[in-house]
Amino acid sequence: MIMCLCLLFVLRHSPYNEERPLTEVLWQVAVAFVNAGETIATVSISSRILLLTLYLMIMIIHAHYNSFLISSFTGEEDYVPFTDMRGMYEARTYSFGIAQGSATEDNIKLSPLPLFKSIWNEIVMADPRNILPVGSSHEKRLCADNYAAIISQSYLKTRVMPCELLVLPGKYFRTQTSMPLQKGSPLLSTVRFQMRRLAEFGILDRVIKKWTMNIESSDIGVTPISALQTSTAFFFLVISYLTALIILAIEIIYTNWHR
């Protein structure tokens, strides 16, 4: 619509072009989008700049559409049998594991919510293997069986997880972890001081980035061009609009000066 208005304005005010009705300008822009060529003869530099800008804009739009179309056919998508704990409970196709003696076990076992009570009674207690002893991990069943578990978001960079894991959105039972000290311990002030120093100097952030990794991964082979990636091209198109209007003003002034 901006192109139609600009082109109509230039054709009506340029001293070198014949005035064109709005329907003809709309038709020119429409046929340009299907690469059908020009329907309006342009003489002035300002109108030709606008037509050139129109076809450049169409090239960008077609490139964006083609990249999105190709990526939609070639991009990999993970199959998710459910998206939350209620979906897992209703599907009844996966076992659900909990670490014995953990806060997660207490949260589900003692939760007043009917959903967590049903998960505990009908899924967790249905198989003794779903309650793992202290020190055990979920990796074997996560890699081999239809098995789900509540685990932390980050892992040490070791060979703990030999297979790819799919992390569902949402967080449950968020708890704070810390180093336990005896009440009234003389070490408390020293530990607080040293931890504060580590945080102030950025050592904690560097340790977390070095030794932990996020197991959530959404990398795909092909991604479409985003609007941000094409913003520079559209910025130059806006400059072309302004250039055409400036040249139009020069054409009008030049024509009136020589009359």
Q: Which residues of the chain have pLDDT under 50?
A: 154-159, 216-220
CATH of segment(s) 78-175+208-219: 3.40.190.10
Ranges for all domains in the chain classified under CATH 3.40.190.10: 78-175+208-219
Count other C-beta atoms under 10 Å from residue 78's C-beta: 9
pTM: 0.42
If you search the block for the tokens 């609007």, which residue do you land on? 227
Intra-chain end-to-end CA distance of the chain, in Å: 34
If you search the block for the tokens 């991990």, which residue do you land on? 137
pLDDT in tens, 122-142: 998 888 888 887 656 677 777
